[in-house]
Chains A and B, each alone.
Chain A
């Protein structure tokens, strides 16, 4: 009996060690905030990066502060990346954080466009209503809608069969409309999900990266990718150690860039350095 109690106490003690990690995160976060309040944005960014690495889960607040710190240090690529991550629902952004992140993202974007115009590097075009439509298509709500349309169509048809009554024209039209909606919306949602899975979105974090015809520094540079530009990663070199990714800008311009010069937006954060 005594052994059992001892074991339980020891297990509880060992398990209780986990929250100590959270303290380290808070310490790093507080350090970052203190450095930011002194205007030491580089130190703030380092402290926030440490907090990100320790936290191991998305946090909109942390991403926002980190992105803002990078914006102050003129690291437009990383600022764009973290501010975009701050808007990711998985980080649980509050309204305040979302609004502040959008404000800072707009400021960073403006500076990135200016820098791109000066250097001749290419940046993705500003978001349009079509981009919002595409983003909306990825949301689970659209998936639920398609699914419910399909279920309703099946239920309606089965009910009509069971009733053994001749279906009215209105009900027949409604059922076919539901089927059509299920097919169209489902296909769009699937396409959006597939695009996100096969060609994940990423942000250029290197300053004016040369995009080349093929993987390797010996290949011809065809255009330059501006810091903060959003791209899709469409391919990678098979040998991960060689570290080249094939990126596509909105509009279809493509090229190979070093893997370290881009960071996936939905990648587990803390891997940008």
Chain B
């Protein structure tokens, strides 16, 4: 049992322990969950160690033990530079979500924290699983607690949103299951590394027709999760109705399951199908970037605005992945993390506002910065990070993605860059309407400034925004190494079209003709 196993299993143990705690003691349950999630985070920091001085291009902390004998299903997990930071993102945000829910969740406290820990277990597992069956198990397991988090503790339309969220994901993952079983029947294993090697060396025979269908089956499952336009409609509902902790986990980590799946499985395993579809997918991604931004601009509801901004931001990630360039890949992964940090922070701040005023309508606010200047400052930093101001995190990711895309097709960059401009519009306008202007008497009365607990939640994220924006080299090397490992065989397998020599060109002769001439 290595450190990674510990990081995966601790939340599960925490989940089981919370279940046996007495429900009459909500304070004890809160403290216990906070401690457990902090321990998980502290433990997960140890995962950085092998990446600190040199950056291995292969998986570390691998555990590979049989789970079910026939069919051969293995508990195979491992970590590379891509999954490392996503795991850390999950373990960082869980204790923050515990703190966010400290006052807000006052009914069924025990179940809430139990589901939160189960969710953490599922999410960490998704990013480490190297066995397709195991991956599918974690993928679905993370779905159930989120369903309950939205459905039990959400706002008014929570039931509709929870069911919609579940069904969308379920429909997609069913297609993925078919593809996984098909791959198993062709290769006799669920092991990701073996299947990838087999597909790349050609030892697993898959026709280009089958490859296209397999690619689409995986792609649709992941695209729903990302969500890619036009499969995004579950997202605004789920985000708006979920409690703050649910929105944060959903936006910051769960959406990354989709993009992670695209990067880890879809593109490396089915490169020619991915290249064949890249034009369509990038078009959808760019539509998503612009459409998400435009819709965000007209939202009267803050959470919905942030939700649509997610559609826009995740479009960048997809664009980066389907540029098939090193910069694009790096930018995509970095953007996943940036979005996790800055959009997570935005949802947390919207949650702070909601706790004070009990409204998500932008119109209910105005002039908040006067009674709560510190809240105003952190919101401004977060908002600027989300826009992509240089020295803050999103800038790095968006720049890399745009550069990667421009290397392939410059027109993509032009359209995608529109999204950056539009994001400045909706974010600045949101800030202006909410924080600036004259505060009403009623609002001033209900708007205390940040307290200690809220500082403890938001300061780590602000620090990260500046750090990731100013010193990206802390984070990028492991990502680049792993991306290069994914991208290497991808480039070498780029299809080269060989044409017969046109007969009217006399200067060119084939080998046979040369031999005959001799």
Q: Do A and B come together as binding partners?
A: no
